[in-house]
Chain A
Amino acid sequence: MGRLIEFQPGPTERLTISVGDVLLVGAAGVVVQSGAEAVEVVGPLLPGVVGDNGRVLAPAGAPNTLLIVARKVGKAVLAFKTGAPYRSVETATLDLDIVA
């Protein structure tokens, strides 16, 4: 069974996960520097909520969430983009090992 793993880019530079795991990443974007065949990127996304009126509401702002799905055994290098996408962007690189 896959795991949904919350991940905040920055302190952690290397991570090992399993095929089927999904990383929930707080970032405005990601550049897959290598290993694109091993991961699937979903997003970037702008999270919303179901309001008290039963409708989906989303805030005004840049996208801030990504899903990284581990599809195959292998390695990938991901450069996550955090901060304000239009001005003070920061990059945090993650070496991802995907195991069976």
Chain B
Amino acid sequence: MSNSNEAQLRKTLAKIAELAGAAAGNGSYESHEDHEHEVDANGTVVCVPKALPERLLLKSAQTAVEINPVNAPQRVAIGQFAAAQVFEPAAIAVLTQKYWGPSTRRLTVSFMETTAANLRARIVSHLNSWSKTAGISFVETSSTGTIRISRGGSGYWSYLGTDVLLIPKNRPTMNLQGFTMSTSESEYKRVVRHEAGHTLGMPHEHMRKALIARIDKQKAYAYFLQTYGWDKATVDAQVLTPLDEANLMSTPPDQTSIMCYQLPGSITKDGKPILGGMDINATDYTFAGKVYPKASASLTSESLGDDWNESDDVEDVAYPD
């Protein structure tokens, strides 16, 4: 995934967290324009943002751009990805739909290969580690799941957030190469929970500017070339291209986040390693709880989902120049 996508992902996650936190009563969201107002248990008027049904998100984005071109998504040039990253007209809706949303949700899980019941249960239990604070969970299904796990492909990876909905049903959305019941519990925590984080829409943490600033580029190029055979472009893409801080949450970089890779002290300027996450840490749990709050009366599908029949949608409107 390109850094421009990761930056936009973080920006949108931050906004979701802000909105969700405010709706849950612990945030500082203050805009009252175009929102309905309700009275909470304390008699205080609170602002409840309303969202369109999913079917209308793309149209709403197109309308917003039609009315005011400034609403179009920015084309951010970040290094080599600038040429490859093309935002389709659907970018606004796609970016919005990359996040599962603040309402509670259960994602079905199936396995691409024949997998023993105890192994399936073990993997799903680690996916559900995030449910300690997040209102999103994984449940196994005997049919084709929304999340499709393979253990036969190469490497460890997962598609990001609701991108999994766009993956052909005969293809995995997550790969856990070679995971068996013999795999250590620590690897389950480090790998399965990391990939589950991607499925929840979380990008890598290790490309924060402050962490990358600790890396000696020339040492990194030499190290990855010698150790992995990676050329400079690969090292740049995987290790050295920082996310735009302006698009990040204002929390300090967290080198022990489960979403952070480990980097050796031999490539850092101070000789100290970037530790990398071995398990979901407290910050991760807090962040997940904010982005995916557990059941909240003000964040049910009633307030965020389909609240009228599709036949009642307004027909296309021509806007004057």
Contacts and interface: CB of A to CB of B under 8 A. Distances in A.
A62 B229 contact: no
Interface stretch (A14-22, A69-77, A79-87): A79-87
Contacts of A64: 153-155, 157, 177
A11 interface: no
- Of B157, B168, B229, B230, most buried by chain A (CB within 10 Å of CB) is B229
Contacts of B228: 28-29, 31, 44, 81, 85, 89
- Interface residues on chain A, size class: 20 to 34
Interface string B142-156: 000000000001111
A59 B197 CA distance: 12
Contact of B229 (A41, A53, A87): A41
Contact of B198 (A31, A32, A44, A60): A60
B56 interface: no
Nearest to A43: B234
A6 to B, nearest CB: 10
Given A29-B228, A87-B262, A89-B227, A51 B276 contact: no
Contact of A26 (B155, B158, B203, B229): B155
Interface string B80-122: 0000000010100010000000000000000000000000000
A1 interface: no
B159 A60 contact: yes
A57 B229 contact: no
Nearest to B230: A29
Given A26-B153, A53-B94, A60 B204 contact: yes
B155 A57 contact: no
B51 interface: no
Nearest to B172: A59
- Of B94, B163, B168, most buried by chain A (CB within 10 Å of CB) is B163
Interface in A36-68: 41, 44, 46, 49, 51-53, 55, 57-65
A55 to B, nearest CB: 6
Interface residues of B, number: 41
A58 B198 CA distance: 12
A59 B262 CA distance: 19
Contacts of A49: 167-168, 171
B211 interface: no
A27 B88 contact: no
A62 B238 contact: yes
B1 interface: yes
Nearest to B169: A52
Given A53-B94, A81-B227, A87-B276, A59 B166 contact: no
Contact of A63 (B160, B187, B191, B238): B238
21 contacts: A8-B154, A26-B154, A29-B230, A31-B226, A44-B228, A46-B157, A51-B163, A51-B166, A51-B168, A52-B168, A53-B90, A58-B1, A60-B203, A61-B157, A61-B175, A62-B157, A63-B238, A64-B177, A81-B229, A85-B238, A86-B276
Given A31-B227, A52-B168, A53-B94, 11 more contacts: A28-B155, A31-B228, A41-B229, A46-B157, A51-B168, A53-B90, A57-B159, A60-B159, A81-B227, A86-B263, A87-B276
